[in-house]
């Protein structure tokens, strides 16, 4: 094969990922006068952000003016079972409203209240109606607004400098295979154009990782093909850490039928709008699954749950609106107990409660999705739903204020790829504002870094190494098939690292993942470099394997059940484990996990909670201390 072409570019900042977080980071860097390359694996505007349905959580208080950042902060910490990095949860709760209003200034059109303000809807784990939304296509509104904001900035640059790409250029359908370091600091990134297979070098002193999630590591997922943990793996290989990779959110309601759509998301808004969950016996089973820590906030009988929709001040919430991890486990338990539907799910019904007209107006894409893909009319009949791998709470360990990756100078991470913000479980609606709050902060972090550090040239040896890795699978023939190995990995994670875990299974998973990784070194690719999905998958798979290894190894260590990590052999929460983060690092051969103390809640945040609530999560010593000073 003739050696491929190499395109070289120089930027101040390279943003990997063009979802909400990446684009928000790019806007921030451009507005500070820096040049930015935005790299996306897909076409511009197709990022997984587009799939977010329910809304963006921000305590604007438009619907219930009792809401404020402190209530939002409390809800976020409760949802994450107090494993969240408090500072991230605090920044998020404080800054989310400004980020939503900013979107409106950039042209977003959210649904309105009668007073003409941005409407806010109820969602699992949020005490007040808090989610800004556009029907059930909020993610599309967010990504399109950010995309159009980038275009607006480019138009401005065209007018002022005669070149729309003078400061921001979008590199669509480009995969990054390596983050480059020279002199111990970030020097750039290396990858290939998916279209031609030609190689690309970015020289840049700062890299922002905003690559989203890892869902494709699992068999049943709501994630698109892009969710292959690229940023998680790139960061690990660059010397960064991943925090708490055992925490994966299985969204309680994915489609279960037909087979081809298994895993596709059914928005939580269906429950927010009044949808109820029943088993094959017709029982509204969620009343049986309210954990002690939530008993004072959730109704234990149908009458009260129903009244809540009309009077939220004097009634407790329906248990269908418990945090996602609780609902997913409940559904899992019902199905296991033989009370599931024909296709292994439970029923979610909104038709009994809301008129057909309102359903079509409030949940248009759900109506459309079920009607066109499953032949089910949700205005007349219930949906069949079951858990689907939706979101990874674990991710790159970052400094909360700057989103700087711990341990690697010049590297930043924001959005789903970053860890800490959501603790052991993310509340619905917190993701979209997470993207904006920390996308902006990562942009600011990169700006400050570049301004104080300047350029860091890439060495020829870094380039040669990165290029050799891309060429390798073409040089082999008759080796392993990337598609087959990917399926094998998905079976292992699904069966052994899924919703319910045990030590025996996790140990088996670690061995099997290591075996697949060994064999993956022998993948060969048929065809040429030109838009070749087999070639692309070979690199995606390498990332997924590192993610799966980190997840399994963290999961086997954590001997408790909390949020998105449920151990059959350790069923309860353990307040000693609450003080610990599992930190994954990579030595080039294997992932190792070390324990690290969680930062202690400062006194002013500690005092936002009723001490009796904290007693359910914290050790007596922690309570006695009353937070740090």
Partner 1 sequence: MARTLKLRIWRGDDTNGALQDVTVDANPGEVVLDIIHRVQATQMGDLAVRWNCKAGKCGSCSMEINGRPRLACMTQVSAYGEDETITITPLRAFPVIKDLVTDVSFNYKKAMEIPSVEMPADLKPGEARMQQVDVERSQEFRKCIECFLCQDTCHVIRDHEENKKSFAGPRFFIRIAELDMHPLDMLRNRKKQAQEEHGLGMCNITKCCTEVCPEHIRITDNAIIPMKERVVDTKYDPIRWLGSKILKREDLIQN
Residue with tokens 């069949």: 384
SS3 state of residue 98: helix
Please spell the DSSP secondary structure of 403-452, one letter per residue. Answer: -BBTT-BTEEE-GGGB-STTTTSPPTTHHHHHHHHHHHHHHHHHHHHHHH
Q: What is the largest CA-CA distance in the chain?
A: 73
Q: How far is the CB of 250 from partner 1 (least distance, A)?
A: 18
Residue with tokens 């017709």: 282
Please spell the DSSP secondary structure of 4-26, one letter per residue. Answer: PPEEEEE-SEEEE--SHHHHHHH
Q: How far is the CB of 297 from partner 1 (least distance, A)?
A: 29
User: Token pair for residue 277?
Assistant: 């969950």
The count of other CB atoms within 10 Å of the CB of residue 43 is 11
Contact yes or no for 258/431 (Cβ under 8 A) = no
For partner 1, give the closer residue by CB, 448 or 532: 532
Q: How far is the CB of 550 from partner 1 (least distance, A)?
A: 25
Query: Is 271 a residue of the active site?
Result: yes
Q: How far is the CB of 372 from partner 1 (least distance, A)?
A: 6
Query: Is 149 a residue of the active site?
Result: no
Q: Residue 247, Cα to own-chain centre: how many angstroms?
A: 11
For partner 1, give the closer residue by CB, 152 or 611: 152
Residue 164 is classified by DSSP as T
Query: What contacts 546, CB < 8 A, 6 or more positions away?
Result: 229, 232, 233, 236, 237, 586, 591
For partner 1, give the closer residue by CB, 45 or 323: 45
Binding site for partner 1 (CB under 8 A): 42-46, 48, 50-51, 60, 97-98, 101-102, 104-107, 109-112, 115-117, 119, 134-135, 137, 140-141, 144, 148, 151-152, 154-155, 158, 164, 195, 224-226, 257-261, 264-265, 365, 368-369, 372-374, 481-484, 487, 525-528, 530-535
User: Token pair for residue 534?
Assistant: 């087999």
For partner 1, give the closer residue by CB, 38 or 236: 38
User: Token pair for residue 626?
Assistant: 């009353």
SS3 state of residue 347: strand
73, 290, 316, 615 from 296: Cα distances, Å: 18, 10, 8, 15
Catalytic position from the list 149, 251, 536, 562:
251
Helices marked H in 80-223: 86-105, 138-161
- Cα torsion 519, 521, 527, 533 to 10°: value is 80
For partner 1, give the closer residue by CB, 356 or 455: 356
Catalytic position from the list 194, 271, 440, 501:
271
- What contacts 24+ positions apart, CB below 8 Å, involve 101-104? 101/60, 102/436, 103/141, 103/142, 103/145, 103/146, 103/436
For partner 1, give the closer residue by CB, 9 or 225: 225
Q: How far is the CB of 526 from partner 1 (least distance, A)?
A: 5
Contact yes or no for 18/38 (Cβ under 8 A) = yes
For partner 1, give the closer residue by CB, 85 or 362: 362
Q: How far is the CB of 191 from partner 1 (least distance, A)?
A: 18
Q: How far is the CB of 255 from partner 1 (least distance, A)?
A: 9
Distance between CA 578 and CA 580 in Å, rounded? 5
Nearest CA to 43 out of 142, 171, 214 is that of 171
Q: How far is the CB of 441 from partner 1 (least distance, A)?
A: 18
Q: How far is the CB of 577 from partner 1 (least distance, A)?
A: 36
For partner 1, give the closer residue by CB, 540 or 549: 540
Q: How far is the CB of 535 from partner 1 (least distance, A)?
A: 7
Kindly provide the b/e burial profile for residues 73-98, where b requires at least 16 CB atoms within 10 angstroms of the residue's own CB.
bbbbbbbbbbbbbbbbbbbbbbbbbe
| Burial of 452 from C-beta contacts in 10 A (0-12 / 13-18 / 19+) | exposed
For partner 1, give the closer residue by CB, 356 or 611: 356
| Bridge partners (DSSP) listed for residue 179 | 189
For partner 1, give the closer residue by CB, 119 or 430: 119
Active site residues: 251, 271
């Amino acid at each position: 094969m003739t050696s491929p072409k190499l395109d070289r570019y120089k930027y101040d900042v390279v943003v990997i990922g063009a979802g909400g977080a990446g684009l928000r980071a790019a806007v921030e860097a451009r507005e500070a006068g820096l040049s930015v390359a935005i790299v996306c694996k897909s076409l511009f505007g197709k990022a997984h952000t587009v799939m977010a349905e329910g809304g963006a959580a921000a305590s604007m208080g438009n619907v219930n003016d009792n809401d404020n950042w402190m209530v939002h902060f409390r809800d976020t910490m409760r949802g994450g079972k107090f494993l969240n990095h408090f500072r991230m949860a605090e920044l998020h709760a404080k800054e989310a409203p400004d980020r939503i209003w900013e979107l409106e200034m950039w042209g977003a059109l959210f649904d309105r209240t009668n007073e003409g303000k941005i409407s806010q809807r109820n969602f699992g784990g949020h005490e007040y109606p808090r989610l800004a939304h556009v029907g059930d296509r909020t993610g599309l509104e967010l990504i399109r607004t950010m995309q159009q904001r980038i275009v607006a900035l480019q138009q401005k640059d065209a007018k002022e400098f005669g070149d729309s790409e003078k400061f921001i250029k979008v590199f669509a359908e480009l995969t990054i295979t390596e983050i480059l370091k020279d002199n111990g600091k970030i020097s750039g990134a290396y990858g290939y154009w998916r279209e031609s297979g030609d190689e690309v070098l970015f020289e840049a002193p700062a890299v922002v990782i905003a690559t989203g999630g890892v869902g494709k590591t699992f068999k049943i997922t709501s994630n698109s093909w892009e969710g292959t943990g690229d940023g998680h793996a790139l960061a690990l290989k660059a010397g960064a850490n991943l925090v708490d990779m055992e925490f994966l959110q299985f969204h309680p309601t994915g489609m279960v039928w037909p087979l081809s759509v298994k895993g596709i998301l059914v928005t939580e808004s269906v429950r927010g709008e009044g949808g109820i969950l029943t088993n094959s016996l017709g029982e509204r089973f969620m009343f049986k699954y309210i954990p002690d820590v939530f008993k004072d906030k959730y109704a234990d009988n149908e009458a009260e749950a129903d009244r809540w929709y009309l009077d939220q001040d004097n009634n407790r919430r329906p248990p269908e609106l418990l945090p996602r991890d609780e609902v997913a486990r409940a559904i899992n338990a019902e199905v296991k107990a033989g009370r599931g539907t024909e296709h292994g799910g439970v029923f979610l019904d909104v038709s009994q409660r809301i008129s057909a007209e309102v359903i079509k107006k409030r949940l248009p894409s759900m109506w459309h999705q079920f009607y066109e893909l499953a032949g089910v009319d949700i205005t007349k009949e219930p949906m069949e739903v079951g858990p689907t791998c939706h979101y990874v709470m674990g991710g790159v360990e970052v400094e909360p204020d700057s989103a700087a990756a711990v341990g690697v100078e010049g590297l930043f991470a924001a959005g789903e790829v970053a860890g800490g913000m959501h603790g052991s479980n993310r509340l619905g609606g917190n993701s979209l504002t997470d993207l904006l709050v920390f996308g902006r902060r990562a942009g600011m972090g990169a700006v400050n870094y570049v301004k104080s550090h300047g350029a860091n040239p890439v060495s020829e040896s870094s380039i040669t190494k990165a290029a050799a890795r891309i060429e390798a699978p073409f040089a082999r023939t008759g080796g392993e098939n990337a598609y087959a190995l990917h399926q094998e990995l998905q079976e292992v994670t699904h069966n052994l690292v899924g919703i319910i875990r045990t030590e025996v299974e996790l140990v088996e998973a670690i061995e099997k993942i290591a075996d697949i990784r060994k064999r993956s070194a022998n993948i060969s690719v048929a065809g040429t470099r030109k838009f070749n999905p087999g070639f692309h998958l070979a690199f995606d798979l390498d990332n997924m394997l590192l993610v799966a290894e980190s997840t399994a190894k963290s999961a086997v260590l954590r001997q408790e059940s909390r949020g998105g990590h449920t151990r059959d052999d350790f069923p309860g929460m353990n307040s000693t484990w609450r003080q610990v983060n599992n930190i994954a690092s990579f030595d080039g051969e294997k992932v190792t996990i070390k324990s690290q103390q969680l930062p202690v809640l400062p006194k002013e945040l500690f005092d936002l909670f009723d001490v009796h609530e904290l007693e359910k999560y914290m050790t007596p010593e922690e309570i006695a201390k009353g937070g740090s000073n």
